[in-house]
Chains A and B, each alone.
Chain A
Amino acid sequence: MSLALQNTRLPSPWMGADSDWNPLAWFVEMTSPGQADPQEDRTRANAALLRRMAGGDRDALAELYDQFSRPLYATARHILNDSAEAQDVVHDVFLALWENAATFDSGRGAAFSWAVTLTRNRAIDRLRTRANRARLLGNSVPGDLGYDEDGSLLGGDSRADLGDRAVAVRSALAALPAEQQRTLELAFFSGLTQKEIAEKLSEPIGTVKARIRRGLLKLRDALADRL
Chain B
Amino acid sequence: MIDENHEELAALYAFDLLEGGERERFESALASDPDLRRLVAQLRTTAAGLAHSAPEATPPPELRARVLASAERSMPATPAAPAGTLLRFPALVPWLAAAGLGITALWAGRGYLDAVSENRTLREQQQAQQASLEQVRSQLEESRRKLADSGREVAESGRKIAELESKLKTEGDLAHFKIATLASMLGNSPEALAVAVWDPAREEGILTVSKLPALAKDKDYQLWVVDTQYPAPVSGGVFVVDPVTGEARVKFHGDKPIRSIAKFAVSLERKGGVPLREGPIVLLSP
A interface list, Cβ under 8 A from B: 3, 7, 53-56, 58, 61-62, 65-66, 69-75, 77-78, 83, 86-87, 90-91, 94-95, 98-103, 108-110, 112-113, 115-117, 119-121, 146, 153-154, 156-158, 161-163, 165-166, 168-170, 173, 184-185, 187-189, 193-194, 209-210, 212-213, 216-217, 219-220, 223-224, 226-227
Whether A157 contacts B68 in the complex (CB less than 8 A), given A220-B42, A223-B49, comes out as no
Please give the distance in Å from A136's CB to the nearest CB on chain B: 17
Whether A121 contacts B16 in the complex (CB less than 8 A), given A3-B42, A146-B54, A220-B46, comes out as yes
How many residues on B have C-beta within 8 angstroms of the other chain's C-beta atoms?
A: 47
Verify A61–B54 contact, CB threshold 8 A: no
Residue of B nearest to A227 (CB): B49
Verify B77–A189 contact, CB threshold 8 A: no
Complex Cα distance, B78 from A158, in Å, reads 43
Verify B12–A163 contact, CB threshold 8 A: no
Residue of A nearest to B22 (CB): A194
What would be 13 A-B contacts, judged by CB atoms less than 8 Å apart? Answer: A54-B79, A62-B64, A69-B59, A73-B59, A113-B48, A121-B16, A185-B50, A189-B50, A213-B10, A219-B46, A219-B49, A220-B45, A223-B49
Complex Cα distance, B45 from A101, in Å, reads 18
Please give the distance in Å from B73's CB to the nearest CB on chain A: 10
- Residues of B101-156 contacting chain A, CB below 8 A: none
Verify B57–A74 contact, CB threshold 8 A: yes
Verify B55–A146 contact, CB threshold 8 A: yes
Verify A188–B76 contact, CB threshold 8 A: no
Please give the distance in Å from A61's CB to the nearest CB on chain B: 6
Whether A110 contacts B45 in the complex (CB less than 8 A), given A69-B63, A98-B71, A217-B11, comes out as yes
Residues in chain B near residue A224, CB distance under 8 A: 42
Q: What are the 3 A-B residue pairs with the smallest beta carbon separation, nearest first?
A: A102-B79, A116-B48, A78-B54
Please give the distance in Å from B236's CB to the nearest CB on chain A: 127
A169 partner, pick from B11, B19, B50, beta carbons under 8 A = B50
Verify A153–B52 contact, CB threshold 8 A: no
Told that A73-B59, A146-B55, A219-B50 touch, could you supply 20 new A-B pairs with CB distance under 8 A? A53-B76, A58-B72, A61-B68, A73-B57, A74-B51, A74-B55, A77-B55, A86-B57, A94-B71, A95-B70, A95-B74, A99-B76, A102-B77, A117-B44, A158-B56, A162-B52, A163-B52, A187-B15, A188-B15, A216-B15
B47 partner, pick from A7, A70, A87, A188, beta carbons under 8 A = A188
Please give the distance in Å from B78's CB to the nearest CB on chain A: 6
Verify A78–B66 contact, CB threshold 8 A: no
Interface check B14, CB cutoff 8 A:
yes
Complex Cα distance, B78 from A3, in Å, reads 32
Residue from B54, B55, B60, B64 with most neighbouring chain A CB atoms (10 Å): B54
Complex Cα distance, B18 from A224, in Å, reads 24
Please give the distance in Å from B10's CB to the nearest CB on chain A: 8
Residue from A90, A112, A220 with most neighbouring chain B CB atoms (10 Å): A220
- Residues of B1-21 contacting chain A, CB below 8 A: 4, 7-8, 10-12, 14-17, 19
Complex Cα distance, B57 from A95, in Å, reads 20
Verify A154–B52 contact, CB threshold 8 A: no
Residues in chain A near residue B74, CB distance under 8 A: 95, 98-99
Residues in chain A near residue B47, CB distance under 8 A: 113, 116, 188, 216
Residues in chain A near residue B79, CB distance under 8 A: 54, 102
Complex Cα distance, B191 from A7, in Å, reads 170
A223 partner, pick from B16, B38, B46, B64, beta carbons under 8 A = B46
Interface check B185, CB cutoff 8 A:
no
Complex Cα distance, B76 from A226, in Å, reads 30
Verify B63–A119 contact, CB threshold 8 A: no
Complex Cα distance, B70 from A65, in Å, reads 13
Residue of B nearest to A95 (CB): B70
Interface check B80, CB cutoff 8 A:
yes
Complex Cα distance, B10 from A220, in Å, reads 13
Verify B12–A102 contact, CB threshold 8 A: no
Residue of B nearest to A174 (CB): B53
Whether A91 contacts B41 in the complex (CB less than 8 A), given A78-B54, A102-B77, A223-B46, comes out as no
Complex Cα distance, B38 from A123, in Å, reads 26
